[in-house]
Amino acid sequence: MREIKVGVYLRKKRILDVIKLSNGWYLVKTENKKSERDFKVKVIFQTTPSIRSLTPKHAHFVIDFFGKLCADREKAMKVLEAIVEVWRGKPVKEILAEYEGFAYQLPGYPLEYILYALKWIFEQEDVNFTGRPKDRQIEINETLRRCGIEPPPNRAGSELAVSLFCNIALGMHPVDAFLRANLDVLPVKRARGAV
């Protein structure tokens, strides 16, 4: 097994930070190229005989949230509260202590993975944010307002990701939420004639 630690290279990218999750997975930040401060988030779920990993996206967690809503709306809305607490900068350990009891029986990803991964994904969105059209920002602001969420300062890049969760909480199907956010949903695009 290769050691997973800061400074080691994972697929030619230097590891900048590591969190070992209680289920044995590693969440890592690696170098990336979009900007000077950019990084990539990876989850390593197997280290032997070889490393198996994937790049978690906020879309994965939106789908997971939809599944949690279908299973138990009340508990899933507590998961959304926990996600918003992460977005506002509260330490993940504190949030887990407060919300784990609501989430442990829900299907899908463990809350620990969701919160640590989204913390970094939201940071990544903010680091790489270069602006958005005014009408899109108005739409995002309205979605957050309808969910009762006041955006924290200096988090404009990650507002879109949080608005995806809000759209799902407000009853929108994930595919429609992704399309509204201008994210690729290839089967739908192909059905509409895109190649």
14-54, pLDDT tens digit by residue?
Answer: 999 999 999 999 999 999 988 788 999 999 998 888 889 99
Beta-ladder partners of 19: 27
Is 102 within a domain? yes
Range of the domain at 110: 58-186
* pLDDT value of residue 34: 80
In the DSSP assignment, the letter for residue 187 is: H
Do residues 71 and 26 both lie within one domain? no
CA distance 160 to 144: 9
Whole-angstrom CA distances from 117 to 48, 171, 178, 186 are 22, 24, 19, 24
Do residues 24 and 65 both lie within one domain? no
Is 108 within a domain? yes
Is 195 within a domain? no
Is 47 within a domain? yes
72-99, pLDDT tens digit by residue?
Answer: 999 999 999 999 999 999 999 999 999 9
Total tally of structural domains belonging to the chain: 2
Whole-angstrom CA distances from 95 to 32, 120, 187 are 28, 15, 36
Is 193 within a domain? no
CA distance 167 to 180: 9
Do residues 43 and 110 both lie within one domain? no
